[in-house]
Amino acid sequence: MRKEAKKRGVTHPVVISTCSKAEQMCTIYVPLEKTDAFLLGKPASDTYQKMLPEYDPLFSYKNFKQTIRRMAGKEFVENYFP
């Protein structure tokens, strides 16, 4: 869908999909015009991704494991987080 939108000249293709298991149907919406307005002033996902820091040590697996160790104990971490 993104490729088709880019072929049609959309600079920031937006693809929204939703599926209903009960109805056994998926709906896909790809606006081909005014996509910047559709984003409501927010950056497109590719632009937003470039704005994010490459690595944030605050959210590293090691720090997560240490926090869990403090909260649940060493034995819990050794059993569930090898």
pLDDT tens digit at each of 82 positions of the chain: 778 888 888 877 788 889 999 999 999 888 888 777 777 888 887 788 888 777 666 677 777 888 888 888 888 878 777 6
In a domain, 29, yes or no: yes
23 domain residue, yes or no: yes
pLDDT number for residue 71: 85
- Determine, yes or no, domain membership for 26: yes
* 36 and 56 housed in the same domain: no
- On whether residue 67 sits in a domain, the answer given is yes
Shared domain check, 62 and 29: no
Residue 35 and residue 57 in one domain: no
Q: Would you report the helix, strand and coil content of the chain in percent, each value rounded to 5? A: 50, 10, 40
pLDDT at 58: 66
pTM for this predicted structure: 0.42
Domain assignment present for residue 65? The answer is yes
Same domain, 58 and 78: yes
What domain range is 82 assigned to? 52-82
Query: What is the model's pLDDT at position 82?
Result: 65
